[in-house]
Amino acid sequence: KILTDPTKIASQYDFVIVGGGTAGNVVANRLSENPNWRILVVEAGVNNAGIEDVSVPFLEIDASPNKPWTWNYTTVPQTALNGRSMQYTRGKLLGGSSSINYMMYTRGSSDYWDNIAQYSGDEGWSWNSMLPYFKKLETFTPPADHHNTAGEFNPSVHGSNGPLSVSLPGFPTELNSRVFNTTKIASQSFPFNLDVNSGNQLGVGWLQASINDTVRASSAVAYLAPQFISRPNLDVLIQQQVTKVLFSTSAKSAPIATGITFAAGPGARSFTVKPSKEVILCGGSIGSTQLLLLSGIGPSSQLNAHRIPVVLFSPQVGQNLIDHPAIMNHFIANTTQSADSIRENATVLQAVEEEYATLGQGPFVDTASSSIALLRFPSSESVFRQFPDSSVGPNSAHYEFLWADAWVGFLPTVAAPATGAFTTLAQVVVAPASRGSITLSSSSPFDFPIIDPAFLTSEYDVKLSLLAFKSAKQFMAQSPWKGFILGPAQDSANLNTDDEIIAYIRSNTLTLWHPTGTNRMEGNGGKSQGVVDHNLLVKGVSKLRIVDASVFPFIVPGHPEATVYALAERTADLIKAAWA
């Protein structure tokens, strides 16, 4: 059941899970399959139920930022982006960021998982070991318009019985035929890929999304569905922020995590709960990292600076922050059909809303993009003579494209024009070399930490971004776009020299909100330091685990939510085995 009153929780639990987000609800669901175990989830945010903006797929643009259900973080000024800071939103509600994200569903590549397996020395993280979890977690669902999806995905790599619905686009746009015709004309550079989630990710394919018919499928909708949340051994306490992990320390053994404290806000009453088995942190790359530091696990400099009693020096906590730098390239489109009219014209908006409400059809059933390209630069590019190749393997992407049949933009400085029709091509460097950090700003759990994704601080990322821009230009110059695309929009017009393009890159790069790696797994038999071991147990202490995007040693070439779901599914099995 979902609880809002902390005095109503039980007196004893086996497991306490911090954060009812993407990973947290998966772990809660799977552990509560054992009727002998009692599970408590403590989530800082609100219930997702009844919030329209986090349910209607098209309203993803209204799901964040600066909502009552978001963590409204900002980054520090980004030195390589002309000193710009950017909003760095996370979901603060059941489902976590899966309740506010763009629902783009990508598993990464077989290289990606095989790399984690090799790095951690645990074959259980390999692609072949993880594919059964990807299948277990999903039900591949027909799109809202129930069109024939043969030729748009490979059914043999998908699941049919899992909690999470994954689907294909359910509203055709004018872009689809143009994107896929381009793969025929320019198949050498931009080959068609039947299913980018098959392990072989390279090419241009249909974009799968975590959507169930007409509504968003978040981890809350999927893993806390009525048949699960009604289990008598599962309690989910909301609107309470975990402020500290408690430890018992003795000279004889490593510190043992014994419980947590939580409170509704600064000055509110503080509560303690002590599970008999484990504390499991699922607070996400920012939440779990801040909590570890506040609890006395982290680099000595930081714990000392904020006078936090030391439980364990762990130098990697908050380091290795990796995120994907993206740019929204806008083109002028020669059409009256683009989704810009929904934003520009109240009558069109009303008609689209009605179509969705009465028929469950139309543009509101989809996320922003229907197709995705995951691509590599040739090894002959001069950048690879200067820098090591950052991709996770020879069959994995350096960069990505997504197309939207409207102006999509997130920069306060580049507002959508009041009129006109546009196509957006988002370019993303999916194998960046830059590394940032998360550090404490104070010892109060209610102060936001200092977040520095360090975008483009490696020159390598600037060079890949430049190459991706040129590749995008090449894609949009192919014959299927003739007469439809009239040229770049004002914000990217007249970019001729590399210097001009790089200036544009620095002023337009933004986050895709994929912070990863701040509590990374240790690697190379412990030679590469990490915060957790390959079972995601926090090193140097006992009974404390981290299960969320912060533990990945590398960033996925693609979008992380699918990888977080699969990570959580496997770790739930590891926890079950550990306590069997």
Ligand X SMILES: Cc1cc2nc3c(=O)[nH]c(=O)nc-3n(C[C@H](O)[C@H](O)[C@H](O)COP(=O)(O)OP(=O)(O)OC[C@H]3O[C@@H](n4cnc5c(N)ncnc54)[C@H](O)[C@@H]3O)c2cc1C
Catalytic residue set: 514, 559
Question: CB 108 → ligand X: shortest distance, Å?
Answer: 10
DSSP count for the chain of H helices, then E strands:
14, 26
Q: Is 514 assigned a ligand-binding role in the annotation?
A: yes
Provide the 10 A C-beta neighbour count for residue 99: 29
Q: Which of residues 240-279 bind ligand X (CB under 6 A)?
A: 241-242
Give the interface size with ligand X as a residue count (CB under 6 A).
39
Q: Is 534 assigned a ligand-binding role in the annotation?
A: no
The DSSP secondary-structure symbol of 268 reads S
Please choose, out of 22-30, 72-80, 227-235, 449-457, the segment that lies near ligand X by the rule CB under 6 A.
Answer: 22-30
Q: Does 43 bind ligand X (CB under 6 A)?
A: yes
Closest CA to 19 of 475, 545, 563, 577: 545
Q: Which is nearer to ligand X, 104 or 392 (CB)?
A: 104
Provide the 10 A C-beta neighbour count for residue 236: 23
Binding map of ligand X across residues 543-572, x = CB under 6 A, - = no contact = -----xx---------xxx--x--------
Question: CB 225 → ligand X: shortest distance, Å?
Answer: 17
Contact call for residues 60 and 102 (beta carbons, < 8 A): yes
d(CA 137, CA 166): 10
Contact call for residues 394 and 478 (beta carbons, < 8 A): no
| Strand 450-452, strand 437-439: pairing | antiparallel
Contact call for residues 57 and 216 (beta carbons, < 8 A): yes
Residue of minimal Cβ distance to ligand X: 21
Question: CB 9 → ligand X: shortest distance, Å?
Answer: 14
Q: Which residue has the tokens 């001009």?
A: 500
Q: Which of residues 359-398 bind ligand X (CB under 6 A)?
A: none
Q: Does 64 bind ligand X (CB under 6 A)?
A: yes
Q: Which residue has the tokens 């821009």?
A: 469
Q: Does 201 bind ligand X (CB under 6 A)?
A: no
d(CA 125, CA 162): 20
Q: Which of residues 460-519 bind ligand X (CB under 6 A)?
A: 513-514
Binding residue for ligand X, selected from 104, 229, 234, 575, defined by CB under 6 A: 104
In terms of Cβ atoms closer than 10 Å to its own Cβ (0-12, 13-18, 19+), residue 195 is: buried
Binding residue for ligand X, selected from 47, 98, 193, 316, defined by CB under 6 A: 98
Please choose, out of 173-181, 281-289, 328-336, 499-507, the segment that lies near ligand X by the rule CB under 6 A.
Answer: 281-289
Binding residue for ligand X, selected from 86, 202, 237, 291, defined by CB under 6 A: 291
Question: CB 407 → ligand X: shortest distance, Å?
Answer: 17
Q: Does 203 bind ligand X (CB under 6 A)?
A: no
Question: CB 87 → ligand X: shortest distance, Å?
Answer: 9
Alpha-carbon distances, residue 426 vs 196, 338, 472 (angstroms):
17, 16, 9
Q: Which is nearer to ligand X, 26 or 421 (CB)?
A: 26
Q: Which is nearer to ligand X, 43 or 461 (CB)?
A: 43
| Strand 422-429, strand 325-333: pairing | antiparallel
Q: Does 21 bind ligand X (CB under 6 A)?
A: yes
Contact call for residues 6 and 240 (beta carbons, < 8 A): yes
Record the tokens describing residue 222, joined without a space: 């999927």
Query: Residues annotated as binding site for FAD?
Result: 242, 513-514
Interface residues with ligand X (CB under 6 A)?
18-24, 42-45, 64, 89-92, 96-98, 100-104, 241-242, 282-284, 287, 291, 513-514, 548-549, 559-561, 564
